[in-house]
Structure 1
Amino acid sequence: MTRTAVKRLYLMQVGSMPHYQIPIVCYLVQTNDGRNILIDSGLPEVIPEEGAEFENGQDVIRQLASIGLAPDDIDTVISTHYDFDHAGRHAAFTRATYVVQRVHQLDAASNPRFAATRPQWDQPAERLRLVDGDTELLPGLTLIETSGHVPGHQSVLVQLPSTGAVLLPIDAVPFAEGFTRDAQDDGSQPDAEAIRASTVKLLDLVEREQIGLVIFGHDGAQWEGLNKLPEFYG
C-alpha cells in the first residue's frame, strides 16, 4: 500500500450553473496529524457581473461548520487556479498558507480574467507557497501541473488508506466525456494544445498509478452519485 498521511477526502458542492446543471465544488483533505487542507473555496458572496449564470448554494464556510471546523482551522488552501468559481472565498482563511503554481501567480498579477476576485487571492507574500510543476505536498497529496485551462492550473492526486488513489483534475478535465486521447478541438479553447497535453498527462497518470476514481469537478451526472460532506472518502 502506498504510504499516505491523508485519512479523509470531503467533497462539497457550494453552488451551481443551474441552466447547465453544472456543480461548483471544492474539497477538504484531512491528515492523520490533524491538518485541514482546503482545495479551492468556491464562489464569492457577490457573484461578479460576468458570472450571471452562476448561483451560490451553501458556501464552504457553512459546510465546514457542519463538521465542526471554523476558517481558522484550515492550515492550507490549495489554489488550483484563480477563476472566481474556485477562489471566491480565499480571504476567509486568514491562518492558512496558500499553495499555487508560480506560473499562475505571475500570470494572475496582470490578467484581467482574475481581477474580480483579486481581493480574495492576492495574499501577503509570506503566506504564499509558490510551487513549480508537479509537487508532493506531503505523502499521499501531490499537485499535478496541468496548464491549458489557464497557465499554471494544477490538479490534485490524493492517496487514501481505503479508497486508494483519487484524481481531481479540476478544470483541466471538467467533464468525464473530455477524458480521452481522442478529444476534438472545436475551436472554443485558445490553448487547445496545452489542454490536450494536460489531458494526456493525466490519462498516463491514471494508467501508470492504476487510479480507480477520477472526480471531474463540474460533471453534474457524476456528482450525483458521489459521497458529499458530511460523508467522505477514506
Structure 2
Amino acid sequence: MEERPPRSIVKRLYLMQVGSVPEYQIPIVCYLVQTEDGENILIDTGLPEVLPEEASDFENGEDVVRQLARIGLEPGDIGTVISTHYDIDHAGRHAAFPTAQYVVQRVHHLDAAGNPRFAANRPEWDQPMERIRLVDGDAELLPGLELIETSGHVPGHQSVLVRLPHTGTVVLTVDAVSFGQDFTRDLQDNGRNEDPEAIRRSTIKLLDLTEREAPCLVVFGHDQAQWAGLKKLPEFYE
C-alpha cells in the first residue's frame, strides 16, 4: 500500500443508509463501488430482511436490494461483496447476492465460525468456500480500491480505501472508527470494541494513512451528524 497506483479504475461511490438504531439515531449503512469497466462491488449489505430477536434494537429502512434497484441494478449484477465483518448490521443480506464473491479477512472468517456473536446471522455469511476469498492483512483488490486490516472492533475487521477520479481518496473506516469524535490517537475504551488496545492501533493506522494520502473524505461508520451531510444514493461521489 506504499506505492500509489498510476490511475484509478474506480469511477463512482454510492453511500446508502439502510436502517438505524432509533434509540441513538445511529445510521446503518453500506456502500457500492462502480468501476470504469462495469464492475459493481458492494461493501457490506446492512440488516437482515427479518430482524431476529437479538437485533431488536435495530430498525430496517429501505434495504440494500431496493436501493440498488433505484439505479437499475439487480442482485445478480453484484460481482463482489467486500465484507468488513459479520456483525448483523453489516452482513445481514449477504445471501441476497447469488453470484457474488465475498471478500473477507481470513482471521475474521475463522473466528466467526466459533464465535456466538455471529451465530444469529450465520445463514447470511456462511457461504460456500468457493465463493469466499480470504485475504490476509492489507490488500489491493483492484487499482483504486484497497482493503485495510483494522482489527479491534472484532478480530479481522477491515476498512476500505477508495480512490475516485475527481473526489480523490475516500477512507471508509466502518466500525474501526464509528464516530468522528473517536478519530484520535487517544485510547477510546467505550465498550463498543472487543479489544480497545487493538482498536487504538487501528485508529492510529488510519490516522497515519489519512495524513499520507491527504484524503478529501473520511467516512465514519455510524456517525449520524456526518451522514446527514453526505451524498446518498442515487447521488454519488466520483
Normalised by the length of structure 2, the TM-score is 0.96
Counterpart of 1:218 (choices 198, 206, 222) is 222
Give the aligned partner of residue 34 of structure 2: 30
Q: 1:2-54, CA deviations, whole angstroms, 9 ceiling, x for partnerless residues? A: 51010000000000011101000000000000000000000001112122110
The one-letter amino acid paired with 2:234 is: P
Unaligned runs of 5+ in 1: none
The one-letter amino acid paired with 1:201 is: K
Counterpart of 1:152 (choices 153, 156, 159) is 156
**Which structure 1 residue ranges, 4+ long, deviate > 3 Å from structure 2?**
186-190
Of 76-85 and 208-217, deviating more is 208-217
Counterpart of 1:117 (choices 112, 118, 121) is 121
Q: 1:69-119, CA deviations, whole angstroms, 9 ceiling, x for partnerless residues? A: 000000000000000000000001010000000000100111010011111
Q: Secondary structure at the match of 2:237?
A: coil
Q: Is the 8 A contact 2:187 2:197 kept in 1?
A: no
Structure with the higher helix share, 1 or 2: 1
Of 26-35 and 185-194, deviating more is 185-194
Q: Secondary structure at the match of 1:20?
A: coil
How much is the aligned-residue C-alpha RMSD, in angstroms?
Answer: 1.2
1:228 to 2:232 alignment:
yes
- Cα distance change of structure 1 residues 73 and 184 upon mapping to structure 2, 3 Å threshold: closer
Give the aligned partner of residue 97 of structure 1: 101
Q: Secondary structure at the match of 1:13?
A: strand
1:69 to 2:45 alignment:
no
The one-letter amino acid paired with 1:75 is: G
1:194 to 2:194 alignment:
no
Of 180-189 and 170-179, deviating more is 180-189
- Cα distance change of structure 1 residues 21 and 30 upon mapping to structure 2, 3 Å threshold: same
Of 175-184 and 110-119, deviating more is 175-184
Q: Secondary structure at the match of 2:120?
A: helix
Q: Is the 8 A contact 1:2 1:159 kept in 2?
A: no
Give the aligned partner of residue 134 of structure 1: 138
Q: 1:163-211, CA deviations, whole angstroms, 9 ceiling, x for partnerless residues? A: 0000000000000000011244356644110000000000000001111
- Cα distance change of structure 1 residues 79 and 188 upon mapping to structure 2, 3 Å threshold: closer
Cα distance in 1 between the residues matched to 2:56 and 2:99: 31
Q: Secondary structure at the match of 2:122?
A: helix
1:16 to 2:20 alignment:
yes
Cα distance in 1 between the residues matched to 2:185 and 2:49: 37
Q: Is the 8 A contact 2:172 2:219 kept in 1?
A: yes
- Cα distance change of structure 1 residues 124 and 10 upon mapping to structure 2, 3 Å threshold: same
Normalised by the length of structure 1, the TM-score is 0.98
The one-letter amino acid paired with 1:124 is: P
Cα distance in 1 between the residues matched to 2:105 and 2:75: 23
